[in-house]
Amino acid sequence: MDNFIYNGNAARVIFGRGTISRLAEEAERLSADRVLVLSTPEQADQAQGIAEVLGSRFAGLYSKAQMHTPVDATADALREVERLGANAVLSIGGGSTTGLGKAIAFRTDLPQIVVPTTYAGSEATPILGETENGRKVTKSDPRILPEVIVYDVDLTLTLPVAMSVTSGINAVAHAVEALYAREANPIVSLMAEQGIAAIARALPIIARRPDDPDARADALYGAWLCGVCLGSVGMALHHKLCHTLGGMFNLPHAPMHTALLPHAVAYNAPAAPEAMARIAQALSAKDAATGLFDLAQGLGASMALKTMGMPDDGIDPAVEQAMANAYWNPRVLEKDGLHQLLAGAYEGQRPE
């Protein structure tokens, strides 16, 4: 076996059904008696209802979280933190809300509790992606990692199938890139394979029976594993492209990941054959890239970036930005190859 280094991120994870009943107890463990609850506008009512579990520890609700975590939105939320004298944040929702909580914690070092309602997985990472002036920039810091994650399977039972699929593939992307990461190690690779397999077997069941608690638990468990992968090793081309397109064109996060992932995997396949074999095995498919495409498309996901708001003249500037300050990648970044990759994802073509 090759030498390796594994750094485990210290976070408390509570997983099961009905676990939001423990939120007040978890806030008490963090000595938090003024908890600011965060959500998107669409989930404000749900967040308000969950926040009631906090009792007197609930300080207020800020329901303006936005996709890709714009820095001006964070500045607005920080004014609410100060106004309320909050000494902790509780993020309820998907990656947008979790991102806002992380951005607040990075600037204030306030403790975080996260209640995920999608399969984003970002709650398990010390990584923050923020958007300013058309660019999305990531940073990693121990302050960004949430102290407590409360996974409640019951909260995912009504997650729409379409969102479940793209959110699940978004999570799979973290594990896929972990398998060919520069810092890949056997511990993370085990979690990556298990995470991909759990989500891949859960999503078809969820598509048929959205309220199946066992399938929902499998998907949520897989999302956590994939999130741990994202927080443990570096990412590569796929995530660089998603950050580029998200920052430039404000594309919807999970659908964008879903459309791009098969093409990024196909691009990297010649340089990472062992990782591709493990991905294909976890998917129960013959090929990693086409297996990912067929899984997502077969469950109704749109596979064309042009349907998500990417302009037809956006490919060339996206390639230029992606190649500037590029992430490490197992295959050298080539301008023509990236153009072909994005063109295929733009049209929604099945990778070859």
242's CB contacts (< 8 A; 6+ apart) are 173, 253, 256, 257, 260
Among candidates 87, 131, 128, which has minimal Cα distance to 109? 87
For the residues of 187-206, what is the DSSP string, one character each?
HHHHHHHHHHHHHHHHHHHH
Whether the CB-CB separation of 227 and 99 falls below 8 Å is answered with no
Reading the block at residue 271, the tokens are 């340089």
Give the class (CATH, top level) of 12-156.
alpha beta
Mean pLDDT of 50-73: 96
Q: Is residue 315 classed as helix, strand or coil in its secondary structure?
A: helix
For the residues of 44-102, what is the DSSP string, one character each?
HHHHHHHHGGGGGGEEEEE----TT-BHHHHHHHHHHHHHHT-SEEEEEESHHHHHHHH
Amino acid identity at 75: A
Virtual torsion, Cα 275, 194, 176, 258, nearest 10 deg: 140
* Domain boundaries, given as residue ranges, for the chain: 12-156, 161-347
Reading the block at residue 123, the tokens are 């709650």
Measured distance CA(64)–CA(109) in Å, rounded = 21
Q: Could you count the other beta carbons within 10 Å of the beta carbon of residue 131?
A: 22
Q: Which residues of 36-63 are buried (b: 16+ CB within 10 A; e: fewer)?
A: bbbbbeebbebbeebbebbeebbbebbb
- What secondary structure letter does DSSP report for 165? H
pLDDT at 3: 82
pLDDT tens for each residue of 198-250: 999 999 999 999 999 999 999 999 999 999 999 999 999 999 999 899 989 99
Amino acid identity at 105: A
- Check whether 93 has a pLDDT greater than 90: yes
Mean pLDDT of 48-71: 96
pLDDT at 26: 98
pLDDT tens for each residue of 154-206: 999 999 999 999 999 999 999 999 999 999 999 999 999 999 999 999 999 99
- Check whether 338 has a pLDDT greater than 80: yes
- Check whether 109 has a pLDDT greater than 70: yes
pLDDT tens for each residue of 241-294: 998 999 899 999 999 999 999 999 999 999 999 999 999 999 999 999 999 999
Exposed, middle or buried by CB within 10 Å (0-12, 13-18, 19+), for 119? buried
pLDDT tens for each residue of 302-319: 999 999 999 999 999 999
Exposed, middle or buried by CB within 10 Å (0-12, 13-18, 19+), for 273? exposed
Measured distance CA(78)–CA(2) in Å, rounded = 46
Measured distance CA(340)–CA(214) in Å, rounded = 40
Q: Are strands 35-38 and 88-93 parallel, antiparallel or unpaired?
A: parallel
Percent of the chain scoring above 90 in pLDDT? 90
1 pLDDT tier (thresholds 50, 70, 90): low
pLDDT at 137: 86
Residue position matching structure tokens 């976070």: 11
Mean pLDDT of the chain: 95
CATH topology of domain 161-347: Dehydroquinate synthase-like, alpha domain (1.20.1090)
